[in-house]
A and B are shown apart, each in its own frame.
Chain A
Amino acid sequence: MKTQPYSDGHGVQAEEPKQWQLRLYIAGQTPKSVAAFSNLKRICEEHLAGKFEIEVIDLIENPRLAKDDQIVAIPTLVRKLPEPIRKIIGDLSDREQTLVGLQLRKFKR
């Protein structure tokens, strides 16, 4: 999987004050990782079209990086921006829960 930033290609980082920086930690191409990535991508494209950036970090390649964001569970999605930092662990298969976790929806069902 790619470790370089992923963007939707519209190039709106500069003028957009509410730029979303998301980091997805995975450990190899496991079914859970693949599912998490595709779930995340779908949600972002729906709700944050044009103002998000997903960085995928594979801990098998860079185990050192797990320390910085206190990663224990895999997969973990870290919302670096906007602050405060939020973490969502799991394969993001529960769409509603993920939206609440990312604070894209203010309430839980």
Chain B
Amino acid sequence: MTRKIVAAVLLVCLLVVGFRATGPVPPLGPFLDPANGVWGGAAATSFPVIQQLSIDGVQAPVKVLFDDRGVPHIFAASEDDAYRALGYVEARDRLFQMEAQTRAAAGRLSEWAGPRLLDTDRENRSLGLVWGAEKKFASYDKSSPGFKAISAYADGVNFYIAHMRPRDMPVEYRLLNARPIKWQPIYSIYFLSRMSLTLGFNDATVRRLKAQSFVGRAAADALFPVNSPIQQPIQPSGTSEPRFDFAALPDPGKPDSSTVAVARAREAMLNTFAFRKPTETADAIGSNNWAVSAKRTSAGHALLAGDPHLDLSLPSVWYEMHIVVPGRLDVAGVGFPGVPGVVIGFNRDVAWTFTNTGSDVNDYYEETVDDTAHPSRYRLDGQWKQIEKRAEKYFDASGRLLATDTVLFTHRGPLRRELGRWLSMRWTVYDQSHEPDNFMRLGYAKNVSEWLAGMRDYVVPTQNGLVADRSGNIAIRSSGKFPIRPGDGRGDVIRDGSVSASDWVGQLPVEKYPFSLNPAQGFLASANQQPVDPRVNASYMGSDWYSPWRAMRINQLLRADSAMTPDKMRRFQTDPGSARADVFVPFFLASAAHADSVGRSDAALRSAASLLAKWDRRYVRDNRGAVLFEAAMTELATRTWDELRDPKKKPSPGDRLNYPEAQVLVELMRAPTSAWWDDRATPEREDRDAIVSASLRAAYEGVLKTNGAPTTDGWLWSTTRRANINHLLRIPAFSALDIPVQGGPSTLSPSSGAGTQGASWRMVVELGPEVHAWATYPGGQSGAPASVRYKDRLRSWTNGMLDQVLFPKTPGELDHKRVISTLTINPR
């Protein structure tokens, strides 16, 4: 009898845990099922060698050959068929990632994770991204190639979802106990809006306002200037560069308490977006691209290189593809899973890549509302205007309503209450645009001019588009909508929302965009620096630009070599040299020598100076000098910018995010007795040499204490800086962590402190009679963590190597030994 009772109770328990999730544990039945569950998914990580299927809407057979790098070569009779096939294969490889990104952009993560992510969803929607994307989608020209492509792509994705076997379900869905949702064409627009948040959300205002609250307006303006004090612009100015446009920094002024609330409000707004919250200084992040004209290359063909840097993730943010529509389109490169087409890549005639411009395209307005608690109207030019209200509903996984918010909008954009003030935001991402069409057009370009024409009406996020063609031409243009503001034209201030005179008055004409075609120097480069010399074009495009260390280094390398090769370009992408170190090391050494000469030196300072003097300024993995230099730079910034911290609080690592760019520190170096050098915590008045030498000494003692003697492994660069590539769900078992990498702050492949930023794609293209390309990215084509193609490119990426990209004109031209799978998609 007991046996039967035990069996009955156990059966009930097994059926419960079999059918239902228990806490974080998914339903065990479908999970453990070796035929249809997670184990069966292991079999689904590899493709059948030959596969045939029929998809609704396909007009003619499509052949998709997967090469041994996992890249699909799609041969189709029309673009429509090609994008339908692309939707299918991207869903097969990256379905979970596509949906995760869409949910993040659409503020629907709580439908997976419940109340835990409700706040994130609320903030996402209150920023107006969904509102903007829906407006954009509704007004999208339905007959445009871009719209047709996202529709065909959605069909392909949905065909895959509808016909996937249970075992094909990505493991993440099983862990979340979720099922894929039907793909809508608007999801591609959601994703692009999210990229605009990543790349086109300028936070210069908040740093300047915070500084203003401590040291007044004049000092804050100088610390976070509109124009870089070191000029190495993207558009060569024709004069000797870099140019050091140094001015005397005004002394710290009186705190400006009027900005405290606004600064905090802005900061609060930024901080609510965990993924937008800055965690790295500009020295640790950044993208590069450069091109060399035919006359400066060894083979006499133009060369182009690009390495856009983004948050690193597994699966990778990119998916590599090759799309051929005979007689019309033959384009290869990478695009975003979830958005059809190649964003960065090449065709038979041109190659292109982007870096982020980082221009100021979002502004804030302080609004006057009729009711500070529950406003329904806002004041504009003496009249009350109705506030647009939008109900946002949030559900959990079971469909239960978690919350309903009313999001408010003025004619400018979302209206939010921050610390008692009502701020509305104007942002180019809310404006009508059609990026899918822009990106698609690039694939058809036959030369540089056609490529530039394809980007003429591009809007957001602003990008430095670099292009080279087979005729040896090279060009670069910073493209996108650059708003023109009234008055002084600056966007890094909070404007009065009660008058329409505060609104944008237009946008910069394309002819005024930073641009260069075939410059006399024979090369072009961009690395997120200020795009144009203000002496050439004084239009306001932004402020607080990244220090141009990487740009200086690229220019230095390219200027020194008039016989460039693809392999040299590849090596430059992970070049360990640092213009920043070249500038700062002499200051440290001079201050140590000065301390010696006035009898203020000691053994620690002398040892530190000796080590630094021997340092070759290269951030290679086995280097032992970089650790000391970086510690000294951190000390220097902390000691110099003490005026920008709350004196009642102890310095914290996060403070560095509020300090000015290192180029401003160089500017200050010219004033050895400036009041900025004084350490407020001491009764004495320090000067430059005292602070610089004290920083070096403290750095040496600190590294000695934490890392051991200079001869130990603790001083190896590889022990301190590592890449950490997290899975989208931050599951360590699906991530690639602790990877020693070459490069440091401000090198061409900057490695950040957290190691979560880096080159998301590296590409070199040679535009000869035949186009040759080499590329890699940190990850692999498959989104399945157990797949051999999940992170198979990580090794080449870590070592700065590139794989040759296969670029066959026909299916028959692809070496059959390198084909791992053939998929034929027939009309249904």
Asked if chains A and B come from one complex, the reply is no
